[in-house]
Amino acid sequence: MIVVTGGAGMIGSMIAWHLNTFSNRDDLIIVDRCKHQEQWQNLVKRRYANYLDKDELFSWLANHPKIDAIIHMGAISATTERDFNKLVQDNIRYSQQLWSWCAMNNVPFLYASSAATYGDGENGYQDNKLTDLRPLNSYGYSKYYFDQWALSQIQNKLPSPPKWQGFKFFNVYGPNEYHKERMASVAFHSFNQFKETGTVSLFKSHKEGIDHGMQLRDFVYVKDAASVVTHFFENDAENGIYNVGTGEARSFKDLAINVMINMKKTPHITYIDMPEDLQGKYQYFTEANIEKLRASGFRQPFHSLEDGVRDYVEHYLMQTDPYC
């Protein structure tokens, strides 16, 4: 059996899709706590053995020590979360407990980190340089703290899972993000804004030398993110933390224009002021260095922005049933 925490979330449900579709695995234990009233839709097309609330997992594990892996995607993922105590419990303590359980039971542990750990990128985006980073928000710090804790377990020769990898996901977009509301991708919001108003709103730039809409991100299609995780689950690779991105930064303007083009419409963009709670905590450039990922044996090409957006818009957003 494979435990997938956050399995009703965007990346978790797509990992389950990948395991169902390409690995013919349906012995999945989906763990989550669905807070959005429509989030159950992410599970409708999945094949899995059981669903557990996140607080039920450890009692279940006590009676099921023989599992193939824990794929830990569950977390508070909102970059605007202000309750740090909540982040400590959900993003740090829960992850530490799972790590310790995997170490004790000799079970592989694969978990979600985040590119938010890199902060404004002044120290680059290299996954072989994981210290002295300064995240811009408490969510990013919670992920950075756990990364550092995991590395300290290895350095101090403390109990650790036999196989473990962390994944610094860059800007993931694609199907099954409908429950994320404000935290859904710009691709998702662009589609809905344009459908409702005939224009797409993008943030103005508040940084000298960067034009409105030209803030750059490494946009990675969720199907590729799922492929990376399942690659590491199914193959031997060096333990450690890996960037998951395309290695190519693209602008929000490019993304929005591609969404509108694939809606078969003439693009129209309106620039708006950035909310105050994001100013000073906003990344203007991210681009994954994926040399380490490629060296691990992951050779699959990533969707280009054009191809990923086309698949998302045509096969999901414009369909009556948008779920994958």
Residue 279 has pLDDT above 80, yes or no: no
Q: Where are the alpha helices (DSSP H) in the chain?
A: 10-22, 57-61, 84-87, 94-105, 138-155, 186-197, 222-234, 252-262, 291-295, 305-312
pLDDT for the residue 129: 86
Token readout for 280 is 């000073």
Angstrom distance (rounded) from CA 112 to CA 95: 10
Angstrom distance (rounded) from CA 136 to CA 159: 31
> To the nearest whole percent, how much of the chain has pLDDT over 90?
86
**48, 125, 139, 316: which is the annotated catalytic residue?**
139
Note the CATH number of domain 2-172+221-245+287-302.
3.40.50.720
Confidence category of residue 77, pLDDT binned at 50, 70, 90 = confident
Which residue, among 181, 151, 182, has the nearest Cα to 164 in the 3D structure? Answer: 151
Residue 122 has pLDDT above 90, yes or no: no
**45, 54, 180, 204: which is the annotated catalytic residue?**
180
Composition of the chain by helix, strand, coil, percent to 5: 40, 15, 45
Token readout for 165 is 């990898």
Q: In the chain, where are the structural domains located?
A: 2-172+221-245+287-302, 174-216+249-286+310-317
Confidence category of residue 284, pLDDT binned at 50, 70, 90 = confident
Q: What is the pLDDT of residues 203-248, one digit of tens each?
A: 998 888 899 999 999 999 999 999 999 999 999 999 999 999 999 9
Confidence category of residue 134, pLDDT binned at 50, 70, 90 = very high
pLDDT for the residue 82: 83
- The superfamily CATH assigns to domain 174-216+249-286+310-317 is UDP-galactose 4-epimerase, domain 1 (3.90.25.10)
Confidence category of residue 78, pLDDT binned at 50, 70, 90 = confident
CB of 129 within 8 A of CB of 204? no
Known active-site residue 139: yes
